[in-house]
Amino acid sequence: MDPRKRAKDRLRGLEQSLSNVLVVHYSCESFIDKPDGYSPRVSAIGVRNLDSGQTYSFSIHRVAELNGIPREGTECHYDDLEKKMLDGFFNFVSQHKSHTYVHWNMRDTNYGFQALYHRYQVLGGVPAEVDETQLVDLARILVDIYGSNYAEHPRLVSIINLNGITKRHYLTGAQEAEAFANKEYIRLHLSTLCKVDCIAHLLTLTLTGKLKVSMSPLALRVRDAHDSWAFKGVVMILAAWGLVSVANTVGRAILGIVVNP
């Protein structure tokens, strides 16, 4: 199936059941500069229901506070605190297994659900896993719909800025790694919740057709025309004449010139 059509079909599926759509994001220790080579520790996870806006958070500093452990003593109890935090998150997942989880680039063993499963298992937990069909990567959806040039790198912060979304407390990956090293867990928690809010906002704009991207209006019109019934009708007529490959080649060429001048 054409990636753009598949992405649009996926979005239509989300629209039909907004109350079952959960936006998720998490912060963790740097997975690039870890000297010991072990999996990065998780510091905070945020989940937001797209329909109600209700946000659930799971974080090291909140667990530490509930257990009467001061900030300066957190590191000594990290395994226990992280385990309890992940207990709460995976208990939430087990109660919401029928929901769809929308995320941003959470798709591998370095950063993603597989990384969360592994981290929990390392700490002795048994994770409630989400079926892959219920995981939606918004970052990939946008590339499939608009092409790889829809925003400058790093794309998340670029598309947030392009759409004028407030990003108070937002930390870059490098800043989050630094905050973790400095035991600034509240900053990590706030950054995580900020990113959950931003991703939810981007998803809403995408679903309503109001998302602003780094493409000219002409490029967007050509993309829409390429998907239109009129274009498909012309292709069907040319197919009857044995020229369908010509039509598709010309259509793709025009689209490529406009989108990537």
Among 23, 31, 20, 83, smallest CA distance to 57 is for 23
* Tokens encoding 178: 């630094």
Does residue 216 surpass a pLDDT of 80? no
What is the fold of 3-207?
A: Nucleotidyltransferase; domain 5 (3.30.420)
Does residue 224 surpass a pLDDT of 60? no
Length in residues, the chain: 261
Whole-model pTM: value is 0.84
Q: Which residues contact 27 (CB under 8 A, 6 or more apart)?
A: 42, 43, 44, 171, 176, 180, 188, 189, 191, 192
Q: Helix (H, G, I), strand (E, B), or coil: what is residue 69?
A: coil
- HSE-CB of 238 using CA atoms within 13 angstroms: 15
For 164, counting Cβ atoms within 10 Å of its Cβ (0-12 exposed, 13-18 middle, 19+ buried), the class is: exposed
169 or 216, which is more confident: 169
What local confidence, expressed as pLDDT, does residue 75 receive?
A: 86
Could you state, in order of their start, the residue ranges of all structural domains in the chain?
3-207, 217-259
What local confidence, expressed as pLDDT, does residue 184 receive?
A: 93
Residue 206: how many other CB atoms lie within 10 Å: 20
| pLDDT band at residue 31 under the 50/70/90 scheme | confident
| pLDDT band at residue 218 under the 50/70/90 scheme | very low
Please work out, in degrees rounded to the nearest 5, the angle formed at the alpha carbon of residue 225 by the alpha carbons of 222 and 228: 160
Q: Following DSSP, what letter does each residue of 1-27 receive, concatenated?
A: --HHHHHHHHHHHHHTTGGGEEEEEEE
Give me the torsion for CA of 212, 215, 218, 222, rounded to 10°.
-100
What local confidence, expressed as pLDDT, does residue 130 receive?
A: 96
Q: Helix (H, G, I), strand (E, B), or coil: what is residue 219?
A: helix
Does residue 95 surpass a pLDDT of 60? yes
Does residue 237 surpass a pLDDT of 60? yes
> Which percentage of the chain shows pLDDT scores above 90?
69
What local confidence, expressed as pLDDT, does residue 63 receive?
A: 96
Tens-digit pLDDT profile for residues 141-154: 999 999 999 999 99
Answer for the pair 58, 28: CB distance below 8 angstroms, yes or no: no
